[in-house]
């Protein structure tokens, strides 16, 4: 019996794909299990989705190939986002961009922005949104 393998990947949806049943196709056509951990997708906008996708290797390869063919790019979630403390001015512009509340003001007295690594899904939205280049993506 072939063993089930799983991958954590982040999908990047071009805006023309946001209304297509891509996840449904992965499940039905390729017999894969998809666990959506984070998503930020709107009508007619680019979107991102972080999923854990698992199944038999040949099905997984075929499913990922399907994504490539239709133009949904993806990358493994092995990237890590870091905050460069000396560059952060604690303005809070990032806090309304972060889809997973990893960037937040925990104490409204100090008004300091905290970066909670455990909540970060490495989507990278904060990187261009930070006016001071304080957020970086690393391998």
Partner 1 sequence: MAKTIREINDKIKNNKAVVFTAEEIIPFIKQKGYKKAAEEVDVVTTGTFSPMCSSGAFLNVGHPSPRMRMQKAWLNGVAAYGGFAACDIYIGATQIPDEDPANKIYPGSFEYGGGHIIEDLIAGKDVFLRATSYGTDCYPRKELETYIDLKDLNQAYLVNPRNAYQNYNVAVNLSSGVIYTYLGVLQPNMGNVNFSCAGQLSPLLNDPYYKTIGIGTRIFLGGGIGYVIWEGTQHNPTAVRSENGVPSEGAGTLSVIGDMKKMSTRYIKGVSMLGYGASLAVGIGMPIPIVDEEMIEFVSVRDEDIYAPVVDYSSAYPKRESKIVAKVNYRDLRSGTVKILGENVQAASISSYPVAREIAETLKTWIQNGTFTLTEKVASIPGVESGQTFKPLEIRPERG
Chain residues that interact with partner 1, rule: CB under 8 A: 42-45, 89-97, 105, 108, 110-112, 128-129, 131-133
Closest separation between CB of residue 14 and partner 1, Å?
A: 14
Judged by DSSP in three states, 131 sits in coil
Q: In angstroms, what is the minimal distance from the CB of 16 to partner 1?
A: 14
CA 93/CA 89 separation, integer angstroms: 10
24 vs 110, beta carbon nearer partner 1: 110
Helix residue ranges per DSSP H, the chain: 22-30, 57-70, 126-129
Question: Please, which residue, 19 or 61, has the CB nearer to partner 1?
Answer: 19
H or E element that contains 9? strand 4-13
Give the pairing of strands 4-13 and 135-138.
unpaired
Nearer to partner 1, 79 or 127 (CB): 127
């Amino acid at each position: 019996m072939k063993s089930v393998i799983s991958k954590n990947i982040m999908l990047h949806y071009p805006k023309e794909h946001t209304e297509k049943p891509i996840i449904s196709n992965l499940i039905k056509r390729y017999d894969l299990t998809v666990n959506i951990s984070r998503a930020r997708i709107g009508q007619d906008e680019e979107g991102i989705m972080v999923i854990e996708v698992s199944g038999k290797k040949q099905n997984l390869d075929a499913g990922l190939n399907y994504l490539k063919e239709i133009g949904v790019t993806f990358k493994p979630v092995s990237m890590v986002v870091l905050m460069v403390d000396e560059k952060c001015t604690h303005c809070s512009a990032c806090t309304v961009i972060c889809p997973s509340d990893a960037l937040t003001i925990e104490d409204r007295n100090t008004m300091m922005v905290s970066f909670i690594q455990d909540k970060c899904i490495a989507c990278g939205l904060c990187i261009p949104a930070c006016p001071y280049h304080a957020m970086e993506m690393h391998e």
